[in-house]
Structure 1
Amino acid sequence: MTTRKSSHNFNAGPAALPPEVLQQVAAELENFDDTGMSIMEHSHRAEPYERVHHEAIATAKRLLGISDDYEVLLLQGGASHQFAMVPYNLLDADQRANYILTGAWSEKAKNEADILGDTYSGGSGKDQAYRRVPDFDTIDAAAEDAYIHVTSNNTIYGTAWQDFARMSEWEAPVVADMSSDIFSRTFPVENFDLIYAGAQKNIGPAGVTVVIISRALLERIKNVNPRVPAILRYDTHADKHSLYHTPPTFAVYMLKNTLHWIEENGGLSAMEARNRQKAQLLYDTIDNSAGFYRGHAHRDSRSDMNVTFTLPTETITNRFLDEAKDMGFSGLNGHRSVGGCRASLYNAVPYESVEALRDFMVSFQRKNQ
């Protein structure tokens, strides 16, 4: 068996996975639960996989404190698939959907909905280069909106909603893309009607998408658009317990194991405290650099998941990234649309890796300023 090479994984997604989970998977890969078969070889209708499937859903509910007023679905296609499923299911012909724009992913979600119906933006940070999330009091929202869509964390720009409390004031259904921060912090699920999240940031590998949807919204969906194909309807998957068709069985197994790891390591409150500590270590380094490092996000909108920053010149930035790679740091390039640097600090990124990055940043500044 080869030894895993030591590296500091700051990739934005697919991202770091807990070593304990990977070790468990390696031990069970050929023989899951003494069945003589890999979990990937079991039928999704057989008891060994069904147990994994329902345990993943039950653990998600425990961690988030999800009441019986909601269904948890395990779907395929990632968040980009949800960009279409949401308006297909929720956007009536005589309504408008309201997209709060906080970055590229919220723009993509709106663009997909534009194909299917009428939309508008009741708030946007685009005129500020997406450096901050719009102030709640500046957002236009109407009870007549088909739904109000937000992106909780913006991986490209390194911004995030700091507080979801006032979203309960909106009268229309609230939909959230939480792909990059779900299970990284506590939040009130009851303030949302639909939440979707690709797993490949905090809770597993690419291939499975968690959808949390209220039963009330599921009832409404049945009357929105009867011509939506069954495979694209949330009520289809809810009625069949996410087993309408073959699910991504290995990804669900990994999801279950990663959620157990979160639970065994203190749950969401512990993840939140540790993630905040990791992010603060880098933000302090940026703030104390006398402008050598410049954070993209405004301080009141900073993300704990994705720390984005630039250096004085493109030449120095490229030198920083080259030297970082040689030192064993992976994934520090900023998104191709904005450049600069980005360190993604998801749940499985250890504090020691962030300390190592902090030390490298301090040393690099000393040599290059």
Structure 2
Amino acid sequence: MSRVHNFSAGPATLPLAVLEQARDEMLDWRGVGASIVELSHRGPEFMQVAAQTESDLRTLLSIPDDYAVLFLSGGATTQQALLALNFAAPGQAADYVITGHWGKTALKQVKPYVQANVAASSEADGFRSIPPRPDWQLSPDAAYLHITANETIHGVEFRDAHLDAIGDTGGVPLFADFSSSIASEPLDIARFGMVYGGAQKNLGPVGISVAIVRRDLFERAGQPRADIFDYRSHLAKESMLNTPPSWNWYLLGLTVKWMLDEGGVEEFARRNARKAALLYAAIDGSGGFYRNEVDAAVRSRMNVPFFLHDATLDKGFLEQAKAAGLISLKGHRALGGMRASLYNAMPEAGVVALVAFMRDFQQRHG
């Protein structure tokens, strides 16, 4: 089988072993005689899948017992609206630190429901940095403080040092969108009130998201909302308030199991550090032929945007990269240029191949 190296930001590359297992089980899940996608979500077969997936995810991420795990339809943008409905009182302030496109999107989703306060923003410098903590203007009575842990488009990432710098928030819980960096390195869940993310980067396929919520937060009344938008109702029904995206949930479970088998988040932290270092070294060592404009201290390990010194070369770069088996390198329309996403399922060999292509392209066009 000939497969390319897929640098897509999401839907993103999935582990080959996961795809092969899903293929092998597609028509007959473990001798049942039917596909898991055909079976009732309330039947014993899928209930086994759901329970094992949550158990494995708790192990992978070291999720404390006082945190609930929800598997929900849709992506992170849906959760961005729901977190305000569930955890903020009508008219209550909610603080947002904006470090890129998805932070702005998160803010947009809650404006109908809360007094949305931009506590800090790096938009003035083109989202190339994280605003210094002393500059944040926090609301003392905010429902929560929200950050985007990794900006998939702009390539800005909160790492441990930046999270440590947030420090005391006066009892205001920290909420974080981890869509594009969850499970890429060890994470202290206990420092957050809520961690959430769409699955289609590191955890599995598009169409399902994960919310990890400190249980005491469910005591908040929130705002008037339909039952289907109430996290407490989903929790009471073990994420099966309505028919869930069962195939996506199953694939998520296979992906989490694969990550555990590969050595867990500690091993992926090592792999991801090596991959990112390889690519940034190629960019920084190109003499300006390639450039990444993000402050070095906050560069993302997952999503690496970069630009060619001459934008007229972009089309040729993408066409030739595709011919070399390197696809989905075009940058997001909001930023342009190129972008390589280095999620857990991207093998180091893929980054080695990309770096070799970049050097060859520069020799031919420099």
Please give the range of the TM-score, normalised by the shorter of the 2 chains: over 0.9
- RMSD over aligned CA atoms reads 1.1
Alpha-carbon distance, 1:22 to partner: 0.8
The Cα offsets for residues 226-251 of structure 1, whole Å up to 9 and x where unpaired, read as x2111001111111111111111100
Q: Distance in 2 between matches of 1:168 and 1:250?
A: 40
- Pair 1:154-2:175 in alignment: no
Q: Distance in 2 between matches of 1:100 and 1:357?
A: 33
- Contact map agreement 2:179 2:197 (CA 8 A) in 1: yes
DSSP 3-state at the match of 1:169? coil
- Contact map agreement 1:167 1:174 (CA 8 A) in 2: no
- Contact map agreement 1:157 1:296 (CA 8 A) in 2: no
Q: AA paired with 1:182?
A: I
Alpha-carbon distance, 1:173 to partner: 1.4
Matches within 5 A, 1:114-125: 114-125=111-122
Q: Distance in 2 between matches of 1:296 and 1:55?
A: 42
Equivalent of 2:94 in 94, 97, 109: 97
Matches within 5 A, 1:1-150: 3=1, 5-150=2-147
Alpha-carbon distance, 1:86 to partner: 1.1
Match of 2:216 in 1: 216
DSSP 3-state at the match of 1:33? coil
Q: Percent identity?
A: 39
Alpha-carbon distance, 1:167 to partner: 3.9
DSSP 3-state at the match of 1:34? coil
Q: Distance in 2 between matches of 1:140 and 1:273?
A: 35
The Cα offsets for residues 92-148 of structure 1, whole Å up to 9 and x where unpaired, read as 124211110011111011111112221111111100100112222322223311111
- Pair 1:326-2:358 in alignment: no
Structure 1 residues 168 and 58, CA, compared in 2 at 3 Å: closer, same or farther? farther
Q: Distance in 1 between matches of 2:186 and 2:323?
A: 36
Q: AA paired with 1:214?
A: R
The Cα offsets for residues 293-348 of structure 1, whole Å up to 9 and x where unpaired, read as 11031101100000111011221122211211111111100001110000000000
- Contact map agreement 2:93 2:139 (CA 8 A) in 1: no
- TM score, norm. by length of structure 1: 0.96
Q: AA paired with 1:224?
A: G
Unpaired segments ≥5 residues, structure 1: none
- Contact map agreement 1:142 1:172 (CA 8 A) in 2: no
Alpha-carbon distance, 1:168 to partner: 5.1
- Contact map agreement 2:155 2:305 (CA 8 A) in 1: yes
Q: Distance in 1 between matches of 2:295 and 2:244?
A: 40
Q: Distance in 1 between matches of 2:240 and 2:314?
A: 47
Matches within 5 A, 1:342-361: 342-361=339-358
Q: Distance in 1 between matches of 2:90 and 2:43?
A: 41
- Contact map agreement 1:165 1:191 (CA 8 A) in 2: no
Q: AA paired with 1:353?
A: G
- Pair 1:271-2:250 in alignment: no
Equivalent of 1:230 in 224, 227, 230: 227
DSSP 3-state at the match of 1:228? coil
DSSP 3-state at the match of 2:211? strand
Q: AA paired with 2:19?
A: L
Q: AA paired with 2:277?
A: Q
Q: Distance in 2 between matches of 1:238 and 1:167?
A: 29
Q: Distance in 2 between matches of 1:138 and 1:318?
A: 40
Q: Distance in 1 between matches of 2:298 and 2:148?
A: 13
Q: Distance in 2 between matches of 1:167 and 1:194?
A: 15
- Contact map agreement 1:125 1:134 (CA 8 A) in 2: yes
- Contact map agreement 2:199 2:206 (CA 8 A) in 1: yes
DSSP 3-state at the match of 1:206? coil
Q: Distance in 2 between matches of 1:312 and 1:318?
A: 13
The Cα offsets for residues 196-231 of structure 1, whole Å up to 9 and x where unpaired, read as 1111000111111000001110112xx222x21110
- TM score, norm. by length of structure 2: 0.97
